[in-house]
Amino acid sequence: MKNILSFIWEITKIVIIALLIVIPIRYFIFQPFLVRGQSMMPTFENGDYLIVDQLSYRFREPQRGEVVVFKYPQNPSQRYIKRIIGLPGETIEIEDGKIIIYQEEERQVLNESDYLPPDISTPGDIQVSLAENEYFVLGDNRAVSADSRKFGPLPRENIIGRVFLRAWPFTALAKFEPPRY
């Protein structure tokens, strides 16, 4: 009987230690995310299993080109994944399939050739001025993506974190860095 109690106590200690390690990592540092849908194709496929870095944005602001997971503004219980295109204080214009970014008096046509095939353009004809703590996000599969063109600017507080790693499928294992513009 003493051996059984000793065994149960050892198992209980292992479970407690494991939980003390895993729970803080899961809730404060990294979080898993499963891609559902085709809005981020060709970058991410339906069923890709991603690891989301929740820690970086506590020390710095999100950058253009980073792929983020966020709470959908119209239903915060849903999680979406999109690419940051516009930063706080900028004006974003979509015209003739191109994205134009206005920073103060500077105009820049966004070059997305690092992550989008040349045959993908951005449908729509809009102009959005972002306030402080607002971001403009787009899916990489522009024709089918529900993004800032539909639901408007993304509030900073809705951002959960940035995509850090694709963990599955294992053959496509990759760490993700934002493109250089």
Q: Is 129 left (phi over 0), alpha (psi -120 to 50) or beta?
A: beta
Tokens of 68: 């983020």
Task: Report DSSP state, residue 158.
Answer: G
Please tell me the distance from the alpha carbon of residue 95 to that of residue 98, in angstroms, as a whole number: 5
Q: Are 71 and 79 in contact (CB under 8 A)?
A: yes
Marked catalytic residue, from 6, 13, 39, 56: 39
* Beta carbons within 10 angstroms of residue 117's beta carbon: 9
Angle value at C-alpha 133, between 138 and 60, nearest 5 degrees: 90
Q: Are 48 and 168 in contact (CB under 8 A)?
A: yes
Q: Reply yes or no on whether 13 is catalytic.
A: no
Tokens of 112: 């997305």
Q: Reply yes or no on whether 121 is catalytic.
A: no
Secondary structure of residue 58 in the 3-state scheme: helix
Please tell me the distance from the alpha carbon of residue 87 to that of residue 67, in angstroms, as a whole number: 13
Marked catalytic residue, from 71, 77, 82, 98: 82
The catalytic residue positions are 39, 82
